[in-house]
Structure 1
Amino acid sequence: MGLKAVRSLFPLRSAEHVVRLFKTELDGRREPDLALLSIVLGYVEHLLTVRLRPSSVGSTCTFPQVSLELVEALKCRFESQVLSAVDVCSYAPGGRALVSRVSDVIWNTLNRSYNKDRAHIQSLYSYLTGTKLDAFGVAFSVVAACQVLGLSDVHLALSEDHAWLMFGPDGSETTEVTWHGKGNEDKRGQSVDSGVAEKMWLYLNGVCVRCDRPMEVACMVTAINPALDAHTDSQELCLLQQSLLWLLYDRGHLDKYPVALGTLADLEDIERTPGRPEPLVLYQQAITSAKRYYKNQHVYPYLYLAGYHQRLRQLQSALNAWAQATAVVQNYNYNREDEEIYKEFFDIANDIIPNLLKEAASVGEETDEGTEPKESGGGPCRPSALQDAWTFAHLLNFYDGICKWEEGSTTPVLHVGWANFLVQSLSRFDNKVRMAVTLLSHEVETDSDETRDLPEEAGEGRASRKKAAAVARRPSEENSSSVSKADASKADRPSSKAGGESPSGDKSAIKDKLARAVNDGPTVTLHSEKMKCMKELFVAPKLNTSAIKLQLTAQSQVQMGKRGKAAGADYGTVPGKRQRKTVL
């Protein structure tokens, strides 16, 4: 709306004053002023996390006063810099060259010798006072600069780990304006179509969050980083972020922004706002948003929900949510630039799940000995979770999604580290629990449909993996792809028993399996070739851990098509899922 219309609101002396400023901008006749709001938020974040941080646990700091003179000076500097460097009349209206020129202005004025993944450098305040921005900050600053130039058709596009710009009358044109990882500067000015065609998670198969101006304000608020250090957050900044997100929520600006809904749910889980929905309701709203608007191609909503159940030590519910997350990620082909989501799943599979299962097992031992279980965090995992076949079914579904994700990829996902923790997790379940699960195989008629729309290199990779998998996999009947209560008519007759006997050698085993299917035992339909060929091992009376390790990792060694040098660690990702910390 502009600084003139809100001059009377300054100085800002409290979080309520900041919220009032945002409310005025969002409810005004003109679109909200991105530069103004980013400068204010950046200044407040800088003071609360860097200059006025609390001295000890339990102490608080005074909310900083935001003066009109400071904001006006920084805003005028930004506007004059953009207007003097870009002559809009020299470019075709709404063209790629004009947007690229604006991004060059921001890019070329950045400091070249700073750590790009440091905290608190995502706002225009950081840019104007220190010429430092992270990857999201660059993309956001370019959009703010385009707004200054009157380019109303240029907007922010977000995946779960990257940001780019969309423009044109219908927003169909896209261009890279920031980096992702190391050595990707040469992508600036290019369309994101190639990343979409490669089915990279980084580009969400083209179903990204397409922002309007109020949603860009929501991005700015979601990007607030309240971290004081690696373990502690600023209480004042968390409460400000929470209040601003509710302001946006009430106006419907978070309806199409799953990550913002997940962030709000996390904040509510820390400190509840009276009269507001429960955190679990917000997590479910984030999942509903992903399904309704983005074809269920977003992974983070399920990870938010899983984290909530994990904190409450609800093992089965957490595993179910993680399994749903891998059911989404299997729609992509793993690429080195998808390192952020790889690290998420690596930590889940090789740290979080094993520890939760270990805790559940230890609680069970204490209960058997007649002692009281020790409390841990949100309470101990129920020992009965390890005696429930559905817990085991969710674990298999989780790994099935990971293996399926690897199948179409030019880069292997699984290695021996994954295999070690898989067999450790499997061994937590009694053989009776494992044998209560019915495993089916989902068969695809041909490989042509899977490789038709892939780049040649990726298609060759998928074909080579399936060829290698076919050598080890036992033939099985075609079955439904759903995961549901077992149905005897869908039961999959194994071609051989785990002990190597003939399929006709013991018909009672098959009858027992069908009987379990008719009862309450869950059915898991496996989609990945690796898990299909191991399904008899999972439900065998005795786990053959060596065979599981071998088969899980052997196919990962298939030689894939040649590929360029991989990108390194990511720098300054878009506002997304952040770790929980202590709040001061």
Structure 2
Amino acid sequence: MSTVTRSASASPCMALNGIIDASLFPLKSTSDVVNLFRRALTSSIEPDLTLLSIVVGYIELSLTTGEAAQAAQAAQAALGGGSDVIMGNSVPFPVVTHELIAGLYKKFQTILSVVDKPKPHRQATREIIKKVSDVIWNSLIRSSYKDRAHLQNLYSYLSGNKLDCFGVALATTAGCQLLGYRDVRLAISEDHAWVVFGQKHVESIEVTWHGKGSEDKRGQDIGAGIESGSWLYLGGLAVVCERGMEVAAICVALNISLSANSDCVEVAELQQQLLWLLYDLGHLKRYPMALGLLGELEEIHRTHRSISSEQLFREAIESSRNHYHNHHVYPHIFQGNYYNRLLKYREAFAAWANAADVIRLYTYQCRDDEEIYKELLDIANELIPYVMKTESSGHSARSILRDAEVFANLLRFYDGICQWEEDSLTPILHIGWAKPLVTNITKFDYDIRSQVVIKLPEDLEAEQAAALEAKKAAAAAEASLHLEGNNNNNNTVAKKDEKPKSELPTTLADLTAACGEKILNPDFLLQGGGQPFADQKQQAAAEQTTSSDVSHNNNNSSSSKEADKEATTTSNGGGSLAQSPPTEASSANATQQQSQSQHKEAKLEESSQVELASSKPAAVDDYDPFEIMLKRPVITLYSQKMKGLKDLLLAEKLNTHAISLQVTAQSVASRKVRGGADSRQPATISATITAIASTEGGGVGGSAGAGNATSATSSTDSIAPSRPKRTRRE
């Protein structure tokens, strides 16, 4: 093989800000590509987005769409390859030559030559960015305006003039960097991308389109999308990338799919190693989607010993909470689907409910929210019904159908979706949503459903107002007692301070404050007698037992003590001893006796608590109604539809027809076009629905419930936990 010597000035790759060495080419393996990215990320000069996108794009398309890859797919189909598995396509790793990269890089420079380069220290303007996006937009093939795979890199653009909407945003950002505009950054939501610019990156501009159509949004500000409350813009809390995060976006955009049923293991391995490199360098801390994707790749093929997939999913959620006020939905969906594949259904329901708590922050936009709608629909109508069918096939005490917390999370999941629907011009919950919902609810018996404490925002406000009034009353009572004590003499104050331990609290506030530290006495709650707390009851019983034992032990010497007492009384002149002023010796003796008595009481209390703790059975089936009451799951329903279902959900016999009517009611999902008043409709139709449905007898065992169960579960027989679902990432 002949060796060609090139000068630094003659090599385009050496001219890329001085961070790429031509000696690194050719790239013949995954480790060579990772080394190239490491050199670019650890250099003192920012990495070149154009170069890195061309390199990984060439590798991706060569391994997934090339002639050898197509031949491998045909061979796999002939062998009857299974679905949802990653398959190697037996294609050798493509050799990335210096000449190939240099030629495509120069072509991109030529395309951008019509745009003026900035003067020193000049920042980009909206007109400049719009012009760069116009150049890229006008050079695209019109047939590429569809959601197709492998169109998110600059190699696809420079070799075939094809890009999807994320590819256009990336190309615009890379083009501005190549021209010398350093303040232009890529902004990414969970299904869209745009550009921010300016000194503080607060100005924004659309440079592409969104969805399956080719409607042009270029040049617009994203403020209108944020104000509409659309999930597409994440409420203004999207990921604003630095250069390292833009490199991470290039790696996340790698598409590993060979076909609908198989993925390329070589591309997956490259993507996984690049993401671990970025993780180690700290570029994924503010990128929840990248952390979630890395977690899925680790679940398929474990490569890191100390960090598991579950930990990566938790880090993605923490990143969303810490940096974006928990406005990202996909981290929770990643975690829920992960637990579902591990058959950890309780954790899966909690994660899905957390995802619904995030989506409730937005207002449903039909076209913009298509991707997240599909995800939530898949959870509600495919995954959850399959779990319910699996768990109801046997009678197990550990089944999630015997867990009130799972039922509470199910209600929280649907409450979030119903609130997402409110104020939207397009309804979400049609009959296709209602049938699985009714079927899932009927799987829980009344004794499980009744354990859930359902509250409404109005109840919380009333409780807060009552607590505030009680606090004010307690403060007033305490002030009056203090004032009364100051007006009396010292003896009265001393008597008030000497309050026995067994005395009941004087105010409701004292009793409420003590409830957080002590366990209530059942006799006091049910009958109103005895001590209010269990530890006081134990202490009183212990003191009574001790006093009886002491009296029994002293019976033998009682006659002699009585004789001594009579003699002492006679010598001192009858009962004059009780009325005489105490001496120093007697007061010291009284103090000593009092201290001994307090020490004895403390010992008795300690021994009774130890005895109570040791005598408490450790059996799992120990049923304490008060502990169960304290552990009952409490949820608050915020959506109008679910608030109208409160009484129906907790009824002994479920009225399935009424629930279905309430869920599919369209009056809640409408808003006024004219006027500025809030148009949210209260849930006043629930009583009418209940009255109508009650005449039809739609109980648990009614025909409506049976029909819903049949239709909902018949389509989920083939839904089983499988490998992580590949999602479209933009």
CA distance in 2, matches of 1:87, 1:25: 23
CA distance in 2, matches of 1:516, 1:395: 23
Instruction: Please tell me whether residue 345 in structure 1 is matched to residue 376 in structure 2.
Output: yes
Could you list the per-position Cα deviations for residues 110-145 of structure 1 after superposition, in whole angstroms to 9, with x for gaps in the alignment?
011235211101110000010000010000000010
Q: CA deviation at 1:409?
A: 2.4
CA distance in 2, matches of 1:479, 1:352: 41
| Aligned equivalent of 2:442 | 427
Residues 560 and 259 from structure 1, CA distance in 2 versus in 1: closer, same or farther, beyond 3 angstroms? same
The residue matched to 1:185 in structure 2 has which SS? coil
Instruction: Please tell me whether residue 393 in structure 1 is matched to residue 423 in structure 2.
Output: no
Instruction: Please tell me whether residue 16 in structure 1 is matched to residue 31 in structure 2.
Output: yes
Task: Identify the range of structure 1 (216-225 vs 400-409) with the bigger mean alpha-carbon deviation.
Answer: 400-409
So what's the TM-score if we normalise by structure 1?
0.80
Could you list the per-position Cα deviations for residues 402-427 of structure 1 after superposition, in whole angstroms to 9, with x for gaps in the alignment?
11112232322211211111001111
CA distance in 2, matches of 1:306, 1:394: 12
With CA pairs under 8 Å and 6+ residues apart, which has the higher RCO, 1 or 2?
1
Q: CA deviation at 1:435?
A: 1.3
Q: CA deviation at 1:282?
A: 0.5
The residue matched to 1:74 in structure 2 has which SS? helix
Instruction: Please tell me whether residue 438 in structure 1 is matched to residue 549 in structure 2.
Output: no
Task: Identify the range of structure 1 (34-43 vs 429-438) with the bigger mean alpha-carbon deviation.
Answer: 429-438
Contact 1:218 1:254 in 2 (8 A): yes
CA distance in 1, matches of 2:12, 2:312: 32
| Aligned equivalent of 1:48 | 63
Instruction: Please tell me whether residue 39 in structure 1 is matched to residue 54 in structure 2.
Output: yes
Instruction: Please tell me whether residue 520 in structure 1 is matched to residue 637 in structure 2.
Output: no
> Considering only aligned residues, what root-mean-square deviation do their CA atoms show, in Å?
2.8
CA distance in 1, matches of 2:668, 2:629: 39
Residues 385 and 123 from structure 1, CA distance in 2 versus in 1: closer, same or farther, beyond 3 angstroms? same
| Aligned equivalent of 2:266 | 236
- Amino acid in structure 2 at the alignment position of 1:251: L
The correspondence for 1:278, drawn from 291, 308, 325, is 308
Q: CA deviation at 1:264?
A: 0.2
Residues 393 and 119 from structure 1, CA distance in 2 versus in 1: closer, same or farther, beyond 3 angstroms? same
- Amino acid in structure 2 at the alignment position of 1:343: K
Q: CA deviation at 1:532?
A: 1.3
| Aligned equivalent of 1:102 | 132
Q: CA deviation at 1:201?
A: 0.5
Contact 1:410 1:561 in 2 (8 A): no
Q: CA deviation at 1:383?
A: 5.6
Q: CA deviation at 1:557?
A: 6.4
Could you list the per-position Cα deviations for residues 364-387 of structure 1 after superposition, in whole angstroms to 9, with x for gaps in the alignment?
15x7xxxxxxxxxxxxxx961111
The residue matched to 1:66 in structure 2 has which SS? coil
Q: How does 1:483-502 map to 2 (within 5 A)?
A: none
Q: How does 1:408-423 map to 2 (within 5 A)?
A: 408-423=423-438
Contact 1:302 1:325 in 2 (8 A): yes
CA distance in 2, matches of 1:342, 1:538: 25
Give the percent of matched residue pairs that are identical in Structure 1 and Structure 2: 47
| Aligned equivalent of 2:255 | 225
Contact 2:350 2:409 in 1 (8 A): yes
Gaps of 5+ in 2: 1-10, 15-19, 82-86, 467-510, 513-525, 527-624, 675-722
CA distance in 2, matches of 1:347, 1:282: 23
| Aligned equivalent of 1:534 | 645
CA distance in 2, matches of 1:17, 1:237: 14
Residues 115 and 103 from structure 1, CA distance in 2 versus in 1: closer, same or farther, beyond 3 angstroms? closer
Contact 2:648 2:654 in 1 (8 A): yes
CA distance in 1, matches of 2:207, 2:128: 12
Instruction: Please tell me whether residue 156 in structure 1 is matched to residue 156 in structure 2.
Output: no
Q: CA deviation at 1:441?
A: 0.9
Residues 311 and 580 from structure 1, CA distance in 2 versus in 1: closer, same or farther, beyond 3 angstroms? farther
The residue matched to 1:187 in structure 2 has which SS? coil
- Amino acid in structure 1 at the alignment position of 2:364: Y
CA distance in 1, matches of 2:274, 2:134: 31
Instruction: Please tell me whether residue 194 in structure 1 is matched to residue 224 in structure 2.
Output: yes
| Aligned equivalent of 1:331 | 361
CA distance in 2, matches of 1:194, 1:142: 21
Could you list the per-position Cα deviations for residues 494-525 of structure 1 after superposition, in whole angstroms to 9, with x for gaps in the alignment?
xxxxxxxxxxxxx9xxxxxx968724321111
| Aligned equivalent of 1:554 | 665
Contact 1:307 1:318 in 2 (8 A): yes
Q: CA deviation at 1:85?
A: 4.4
Q: How does 1:444-459 map to 2 (within 5 A)?
A: none
Contact 1:438 1:517 in 2 (8 A): no
The correspondence for 1:66, drawn from 78, 82, 96, is 96
CA distance in 1, matches of 2:654, 2:465: 25
| Aligned equivalent of 1:6 | 21
CA distance in 1, matches of 2:252, 2:173: 16
Q: How many residues align?
A: 495
CA distance in 1, matches of 2:667, 2:269: 46
Instruction: Please tell me whether residue 27 in structure 1 is matched to residue 42 in structure 2.
Output: yes
The residue matched to 2:426 in structure 1 has which SS? coil
The residue matched to 1:113 in structure 2 has which SS? helix
Instruction: Please tell me whether residue 136 in structure 1 is matched to residue 166 in structure 2.
Output: yes
Q: How does 1:402-413 map to 2 (within 5 A)?
A: 402-413=417-428
Contact 1:441 1:477 in 2 (8 A): no
CA distance in 1, matches of 2:384, 2:364: 22
| Aligned equivalent of 1:82 | 112
- Amino acid in structure 2 at the alignment position of 1:554: A
Instruction: Please tell me whether residue 256 in structure 1 is matched to residue 272 in structure 2.
Output: no
Larger radius of gyration between Structure 1 and Structure 2:
2
| Aligned equivalent of 1:466 | none
| Aligned equivalent of 1:211 | 241
CA distance in 2, matches of 1:81, 1:114: 19
Q: CA deviation at 1:187?
A: 2.1
Gaps of 5+ in 1: 368-381, 447-475, 481-487, 490-506, 508-513, 564-576
| Aligned equivalent of 1:307 | 337
Task: Identify the range of structure 1 (236-245 vs 530-539) with the bigger mean alpha-carbon deviation.
Answer: 530-539
Q: CA deviation at 1:399?
A: 0.7
The residue matched to 1:554 in structure 2 has which SS? coil
Contact 2:146 2:212 in 1 (8 A): no
CA distance in 1, matches of 2:62, 2:293: 22
| Aligned equivalent of 2:505 | none
The residue matched to 2:454 in structure 1 has which SS? strand
Q: CA deviation at 1:63?
A: 1.1
CA distance in 1, matches of 2:12, 2:370: 40
Q: CA deviation at 1:232?
A: 1.0
Contact 2:423 2:671 in 1 (8 A): no
CA distance in 2, matches of 1:236, 1:2: 28
Task: Identify the range of structure 1 (127-136 vs 275-284) with the bigger mean alpha-carbon deviation.
Answer: 275-284
Q: CA deviation at 1:479?
A: 9.5
CA distance in 2, matches of 1:230, 1:68: 33
The residue matched to 2:665 in structure 1 has which SS? helix
Contact 1:442 1:478 in 2 (8 A): no
CA distance in 2, matches of 1:348, 1:355: 10
Residues 285 and 320 from structure 1, CA distance in 2 versus in 1: closer, same or farther, beyond 3 angstroms? same
Contact 1:333 1:410 in 2 (8 A): no
So what's the TM-score if we normalise by structure 2?
0.64
CA distance in 2, matches of 1:292, 1:559: 34
